[in-house]
């Protein structure tokens, strides 16, 4: 009798827990649906503005500020020349480029020296933000905009702080050294300035370069890679940038500007002490600390996202590299949420504290744990008879089918507004990858993110190594 009571109690407990998991997944899916709806007027606004812009007028506009592009580089031999050429070929009236060689163990610096005829110059940089020692400074004989810093290894955040010290412009653009910018990327990213908005930072869109044809530092043909893993990442990036961050524009809740493509007011970054070197999530951490500074000092400052300002990045093409990347991202997310926990449900920080921050805690930070527990509970419930196939179907539909639907909507919006893919077969390939991402790729990422959470608890701080293939080989 006691055994029967115990088993029935177990069934009830597992059933209740499984129902709770379903409610969690339903709530997060509804939240993403709301972000999608909020993104539509933002997308329309930027599409109409883009259609009405005249590049010739923008290039001579006094509203566009001088910009310093900062690109930290560590073992970027495969892509550094192409990326630098894309940075130097931008259509923008006034900018400089600072490449920071963060003690590369390959021939990154040597390739830069050879390709751009670099020569050593005396140090003339005032060190405001502390960094590891700098070994030398270089300028180019053929590109006056190019400035190269060679320093000991201190990590990405330290390299960006070295560039901040050397920057001479009121605004700085942080990019990864494996990034390729569209020629008009800076012009479009600067759109909020021409609208007269008080801008503290601006984020642009990242697209996957794998599979695209790159010539002389430019993406000349947009394609979707045939490999399923890189194709799934193309869908993932489209969804995250096209309506995820656009939706947050409407409520003033953007907490992320990609470290691969973000524009900031330099004086604000100097005021908060630059990039924090003790985290692997330096991009999100920077934005949250920046927004805290603005709220606490009652300084007006928007953090908008511009969807048609595009940078291209090489994404992982092997499971090993992908796993290392997503583990690092999760460690960075958890570390940032913990370090800035005073923002949580704090009305002092407006929409960031009351809406955006709680959402990132419940829908992003704990999502892999919640979903993994949900799958485990479902399996247990089926084994002990606490659930039937109706519950199983509901769980699977909630966790996967809705995500695939959101991805398909993102692809549709991309095609209706920007028409990035000339070949219709690439659009259909993206649609196929939307289902592959929901039914397989997503579950794989859950495992990587769980490992990231565990390693954060273990105090791991390392970045890991991103193996580059190179744009011409993608």
Q: What is the pLDDT of residues 410-457, one digit of tens each?
A: 888 888 777 778 788 888 999 999 988 888 898 899 999 999 999 888
Q: Mean of the per-residue pLDDT values for the chain?
A: 86
Q: CB-hemisphere CA count at 13 Å for 244?
A: 24
Burial (Cβ within 10 Å: 0-12, 13-18, ≥19) of residue 245: buried
Confidence (pLDDT) at 57: 60
pLDDT at 386 over 90: no
Q: What is the pLDDT of residues 50-63, one digit of tens each?
A: 766 656 566 656 67
- State how far the alpha carbon of 352 is from the alpha carbons of 34, 197, 305, 358, in Å: 17, 19, 15, 9
Confidence (pLDDT) at 53: 63
273-277 long-range Cβ contacts below 8 angstroms, 24+ apart: 273/129, 274/129, 274/157, 274/160, 274/161, 274/164, 275/156, 275/157, 275/158, 275/160, 275/161, 275/164, 276/157, 276/339, 277/154, 277/155, 277/157, 277/158, 277/161
pLDDT at 292 over 90: yes
Confidence (pLDDT) at 61: 66
- Phi, psi angle pair for 255, to nearest 5°: -110, -10
Confidence (pLDDT) at 474: 44
Parallel/antiparallel/unpaired status of strands 179-181 and 201-208: unpaired
End-to-end CA distance of the chain: 65
Q: What is the pLDDT of residues 203-261, one digit of tens each?
A: 999 999 998 988 877 888 888 888 889 999 999 998 888 878 888 988 888 898 888 89
| Nearest-angstrom CA–CA distance, 345 and 335 | 18
pLDDT at 458 over 90: no
Residue 157 pLDDT grade (very low, low, confident, very high; cuts 50, 70, 90)? very high
Mean pLDDT of 22-38: 85
pLDDT at 343 over 90: yes
Residue 391 pLDDT grade (very low, low, confident, very high; cuts 50, 70, 90)? low
pLDDT at 107 over 90: yes
Mean pLDDT of 149-168: 94
Pair of tokens at residue 360: 């990132």
pLDDT at 194 over 80: no
Q: State the residue for tokens 């394609």.
A: 223
Confidence (pLDDT) at 413: 83
Confidence (pLDDT) at 387: 65
Of 6-20, 60-74, 167-181, the poorest mean pLDDT is in: 6-20
pLDDT at 468 over 70: no
Q: What is the pLDDT of residues 87-98, one digit of tens each?
A: 999 989 899 999
Q: CB-hemisphere CA count at 13 Å for 442?
A: 23
Parallel/antiparallel/unpaired status of strands 146-151 and 95-102: parallel
Confidence (pLDDT) at 473: 45
- State how far the alpha carbon of 382 is from the alpha carbons of 345, 368, 391, 408, in Å: 38, 21, 9, 31
Mean pLDDT of 67-71: 96
Confidence (pLDDT) at 267: 95
Confidence (pLDDT) at 27: 84
Of 158-172, 295-309, 376-390, 432-446, the poorest mean pLDDT is in: 376-390
C-alpha closest to that of 402 among 139, 104, 4, 29 = 29
Confidence (pLDDT) at 121: 94
399-404 long-range Cβ contacts below 8 angstroms, 24+ apart: 399/25, 399/371, 399/374, 399/375, 399/442, 400/438, 400/439, 400/442, 401/438, 402/29, 402/33, 403/29, 403/437, 403/438, 403/442, 404/434, 404/435, 404/437, 404/438, 404/439
| Nearest-angstrom CA–CA distance, 47 and 290 | 28
Of 47-56, 374-383, 451-460, the poorest mean pLDDT is in: 47-56
Residue 159 pLDDT grade (very low, low, confident, very high; cuts 50, 70, 90)? very high
Mean pLDDT of 378-394: 72
CB 214 within 8 A of CB 314: no
Burial (Cβ within 10 Å: 0-12, 13-18, ≥19) of residue 416: exposed
Confidence (pLDDT) at 467: 56
């Amino acid at each position: 009798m006691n055994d029967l009571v115990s088993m029935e109690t177990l069934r009830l407990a597992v059933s209740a827990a499984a129902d709770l998991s379903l409610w969690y997944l339903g709530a997060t899916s509804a939240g993403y649906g709301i972000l999608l709806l909020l993104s539509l007027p933002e997308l329309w606004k930027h599409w109409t503005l883009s259609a009405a812009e005249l590049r010739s007028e923008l290039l001579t506009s006094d509203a566009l500020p001088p910009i310093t592009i900062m690109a930290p580089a560590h073992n970027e031999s495969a892509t550094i020349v192409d990326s630098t050429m894309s940075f130097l070929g931008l259509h923008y009236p006034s900018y400089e480029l600072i490449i920071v060689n963060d003690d590369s163990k390959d021939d990154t610096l040597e390739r830069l020296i050879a390709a751009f005829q670099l020569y050593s110059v005396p140090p003339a940089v005032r060190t405001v933000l502390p960094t590891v020692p700098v070994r030398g400074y270089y300028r180019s004989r053929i590109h006056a905009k190019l400035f190269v810093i060679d320093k000991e290894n201190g990590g990405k955040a330290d390299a960006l702080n070295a560039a901040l010290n050397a920057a001479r412009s009121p605004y700085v653009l942080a990019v990864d050294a494996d990034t390729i910018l569209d020629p008009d990327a800076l012009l479009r990213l600067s759109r909020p300035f021409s609208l007269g908005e008080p801008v503290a930072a601006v984020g642009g869109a990242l697209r996957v370069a794998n599979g695209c044809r790159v010539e002389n530092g430019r993406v000349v043909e947009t394609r979707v890679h045939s490999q399923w893993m890189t194709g799934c990442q193309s869908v993932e990036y489209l969804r995250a940038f096209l309506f995820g961050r656009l939706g947050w524009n409407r409520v003033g809740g953007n907490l992320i500007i990609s470290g691969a493509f973000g524009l900031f007011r330099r004086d604000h970054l100097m005021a908060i002490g630059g990039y924090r070197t003790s985290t692997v999530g330096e991009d999100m951490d920077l934005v949250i600390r920046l927004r805290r500074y603005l709220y606490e000092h009652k300084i007006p400052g928007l953090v908008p996202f511009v969807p048609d300002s595009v940078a291209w990045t090489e994404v992982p093409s092997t499971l090993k590299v992908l796993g290392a990347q997503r583990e690092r991202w999760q460690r960075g997310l958890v570390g940032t949420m913990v370090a800035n926990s005073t923002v949580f449900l704090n009305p002092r920080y407006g929409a960031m504290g009351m809406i955006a921050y709680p959402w990132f805690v419940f829908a992003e930070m704990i999502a892999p744990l919640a979903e993994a527990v949900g799958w485990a509970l479902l399996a247990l419930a089926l084994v002990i008879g606490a659930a039937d196939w109706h519950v199983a179907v509901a769980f699977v539909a909630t966790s996967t089918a809705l995500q695939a639907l959101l991805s398909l909507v993102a692809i549709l919006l991309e095609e209706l507004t920007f028409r990035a893919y000339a070949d219709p077969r690439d659009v259909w390939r993206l649609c196929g990858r939307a289902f592959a991402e929901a039914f397989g790729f997503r579950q794989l990422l859950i495992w990587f993110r769980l490992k990231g959470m565990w390693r954060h608890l273990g105090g791991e701080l390392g970045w890991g190594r991103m193996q580059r293939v190179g744009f011409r080989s993608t």
